[in-house]
Structure 1
Amino acid sequence: MEAIAKAHTNIALIKYWGKRDETLFLPMNSSLSITLDRFYTTTAVQFCSCLNKDVFLLNGQIASEAETMKIVAFLDHVRNIAGKNMYAIVNSVNKVPTAAGFASSASGFAALAAAATKAIGMDTDNKTLSQIARQGSGSACRSIYGGYVEWQKGEEVDGSDSFAKPISDKQDWNLSVLSCLVASNEKKVLSREGMKRTVETSPFYKGWLDTVEKDLVQAKRAIAERDFEMLGTVVEANALKMHATTLGANPPFMYWQSATLEVMEHVQQLRTSGIEAYFTIDAGPNVKVICHQKDEQAVLEHLATLPSVQNVYLCHPGPGISYLPDTATENGSKLFYKTYHQSNCENKTSHT
């Protein structure tokens, strides 16, 4: 019972900020994202009755206890749905640069959801897979699909109507996304804590909820009409509003650094000079810049000249979930994967 799946990371154009249910990962608002081609996670899952616990390998190494517990909790959810009680070896290779501003949890849990459900024998459609992935990481539900994706917040208390759906394929509008790495240190306020604090204490949060659905409608219209100026304008404004809510939290906090502001100002200067480019920022200091493909090299060269920019990663709209043959495991960890599995099976057999 083994399966290998590959999922790509995504960036939110219209942000998901705040949960109405912390356990089920149900969002306060709907969101919209682009799945990206450059960064991804490949995950192999094998369930076996001879194992006495779950084992998690990350990039060829046994993962920490904290990382493993997150995977165990997610596998418990899959086991509960499938009605089967077997442990698994999870072998995950993450091709997302550390602290580059791309949430590897999105690609990670999307790939895990796809591989685990297939390995345990479930026959899931993408809608169901999106619902399952959501309970590992909210944004993972969007990485099930490629291109432009909407995550519907839903209304039901059980989360049955909260899932992602594609709104435009990756080749329909092949924009460019440049991620500017300006800081690689761990942020002081993690996204989950930041959301919770903002929802509970920020007087600005109501304004966010009053306008975010309108932003979503405008962004979807812009994508349908291929109106880049409309899309860029609403995406930039939406990011600024999200970050404004954190300033009203108690205690207040800010994800930006001085370098963040420098990149934002530079992008606005590019527009003044005639190059269409817009920024967006997730819960961190690093800035994503969106532009037409014809302008991507010019934008990249301009951003790379800034002293505060450590690196610039160029991406385009990417694909959704895919399943790979069992020869696809990377970094030589396949050897450990099989050795560990064989050893545990043999040990159990020798004791029975």
Structure 2
Amino acid sequence: MTSATAIAHPNIALIKYWGKADETLSLPATGSLSMTLDVFPTRTTVTVDDTARDTLQLNGRAATEGELARVTKFLDLVRELAGDTRPAAVVSENTVPTGAGLASSASGFAALATAAAATYGLDLDTRDLSRLARRGSGSASRSIPGGVAIWHAGDDAASFSETVAAPPLAMVIATVDAGEKPISSREAMRRTIATSPFFPAWIPSTAASLELMVAACAAGDVTRIGELTESNALRMHAVIQGSEPPIRYLTAASTRVFDAVAGMRAHGLEAYATADAGPNVVVLTRPEDAAAVAATLTAEAGIAEPVIALPGPGAYLVDGSEALR
């Protein structure tokens, strides 16, 4: 019996990934850039033994057939690369709300890719491991290297993630709804591509924003990083809302957070809001200002327990007994 355990963390995109150029290979229509968080880890153990078929346990419960099918499809890819047909038992513990737009699939598949590669004997460097994780969930590619990471668009060989230099940053997570969103990101992407008249403009606009963001990170310009982050998030949600029928992830509670963030800037507290495909909002700021941002979110937007996050590590292997924090 062979087993390996990995921990990975979610990432929040500053320049968003929205839309695939190739669904089979999970290639993005544009590049993106994110910050991996040091909170909400996922721990996954993959064990190869003599079971008749793959099994999956999520947060202490047996997975649904749909959840198991997605993991089995990914493990089949790993097994093909390894030349090993044995099934696996997968046990995963996820501390980020699943399907709430807080990148649970990123940490989940980054941890799965890291543990499965080790279990089946694949010797992959960070670049190739990010390419593998991408096949499970596109954004998982960015959780492999950690820190501030860029995910390159391109063909299968060129589409990987790597860490880039950036100034000190912090994020404050404002969870307004921890429930699972009614429309998955995968389905929403398909609908956006097929029906939103704004999607064709999204691709060159995002490519241009990514180029500006990389330059801002290299220059250590936190203000410009924040401006680009908030602008890109609102553009993505506009593109999504242009779908037919419309998809609206942001709620009135989300808008209150965006308004509170705008109010902070008006009063000299530098903060910028972003949101992935869900109602929850993440506020980008400087580490020294994170506590003040969190307190203001509670006072002005009613966020009961904002979570402060700093840049987190890439995915890594651990002893299976290590506790999640």
TM range (shorter): over 0.9
Deviation for aligned residue 1:329: 6.8
Match among 262, 265, 276 for residue 256 of structure 2: 262
Distance 2:22 2:302 in 1: 38
Deviation for aligned residue 1:89: 1.0
Distance 2:126 2:263 in 1: 41
1:238 aligns with 2:239: no
Distance 1:240 1:3 in 2: 40
Distance 2:229 2:303 in 1: 22
Deviations along 1:4-23, one digit per CA (max 9) or x if unpaired, are 11111100000000011112
Distance 1:306 1:259 in 2: 11
Distance 2:115 2:17 in 1: 25
1:99–1:183 Cα contact (<8 Å) kept: no
Distance 2:97 2:298 in 1: 17
> What does residue 166 of structure 1 align with?
163
Q: Secondary structure at the match of 1:173?
A: coil
Q: Secondary structure at the match of 1:311?
A: coil
> What does residue 75 of structure 1 align with?
75
Q: Which has the larger radius of gyration?
A: 1
Deviation for aligned residue 1:150: 0.5
Q: Which amino acid aligns with 1:249?
A: S
Distance 2:253 2:27 in 1: 33
Deviations along 1:119-175, one digit per CA (max 9) or x if unpaired, are 111111111111110111000011001111000011x3xx2221111112xxx6331
Distance 2:320 2:311 in 1: 26
1:31–1:216 Cα contact (<8 Å) kept: yes
Q: In structure 2, do the counterparts of structure 1 residues 248 and 20 end up closer, same or farther at CA, with 3 Å as the change threshold?
A: same
1:78–1:116 Cα contact (<8 Å) kept: yes
Deviation for aligned residue 1:308: 4.5
Q: Which amino acid aligns with 1:12?
A: A
> What does residue 142 of structure 1 align with?
142
Q: In structure 2, do the counterparts of structure 1 residues 118 and 221 end up closer, same or farther at CA, with 3 Å as the change threshold?
A: same
Q: Secondary structure at the match of 2:258?
A: helix
Q: In structure 2, do the counterparts of structure 1 residues 101 and 313 end up closer, same or farther at CA, with 3 Å as the change threshold?
A: farther
Deviation for aligned residue 1:330: 6.8
Q: Secondary structure at the match of 2:121?
A: coil
Q: In structure 2, do the counterparts of structure 1 residues 184 and 42 end up closer, same or farther at CA, with 3 Å as the change threshold?
A: closer
> What does residue 193 of structure 1 align with?
187
1:315 aligns with 2:309: yes
Q: Percent identity?
A: 44
Describe how 1:325-344 pairs up with structure 2 within 5 A: 325-328=319-322
1:52 aligns with 2:60: no
1:248 aligns with 2:245: no
Distance 1:43 1:197 in 2: 31
Q: In structure 2, do the counterparts of structure 1 residues 99 and 17 end up closer, same or farther at CA, with 3 Å as the change threshold?
A: closer
> What does residue 205 of structure 1 align with?
199
Q: Which amino acid aligns with 1:22?
A: E
Describe how 1:94-173 pairs up with structure 2 within 5 A: 94-98=94-98, 101-154=101-154, 156=155, 159-168=156-165, 173=167
1:182–1:310 Cα contact (<8 Å) kept: no
Deviation for aligned residue 1:88: 0.8
Q: Which amino acid aligns with 2:278?
A: G
2:16–2:236 Cα contact (<8 Å) kept: yes
Q: How many residues align?
A: 324
Q: Secondary structure at the match of 2:13?
A: strand
Q: In structure 2, do the counterparts of structure 1 residues 263 and 46 end up closer, same or farther at CA, with 3 Å as the change threshold?
A: same
Describe how 1:22-61 pairs up with structure 2 within 5 A: 22-48=23-49, 50-61=50-61
Distance 1:224 1:264 in 2: 27
Q: In structure 2, do the counterparts of structure 1 residues 178 and 223 end up closer, same or farther at CA, with 3 Å as the change threshold?
A: same
> What does residue 280 of structure 1 align with?
274
Distance 1:68 1:236 in 2: 36
Deviation for aligned residue 1:97: 3.7
Distance 1:98 1:303 in 2: 23
Deviation for aligned residue 1:307: 5.3
Deviation for aligned residue 1:98: 4.8
2:100–2:278 Cα contact (<8 Å) kept: no
Task: Supply the RMSD in Å over aligned alpha carbons.
Answer: 1.7
1:45–1:88 Cα contact (<8 Å) kept: yes
Return 5+ residue gaps in structure 1 as ranges.
332-352
Match among 287, 305, 311 for residue 293 of structure 1: 287
Q: In structure 2, do the counterparts of structure 1 residues 307 and 234 end up closer, same or farther at CA, with 3 Å as the change threshold?
A: closer
Deviation for aligned residue 1:83: 1.1
1:5–1:111 Cα contact (<8 Å) kept: yes
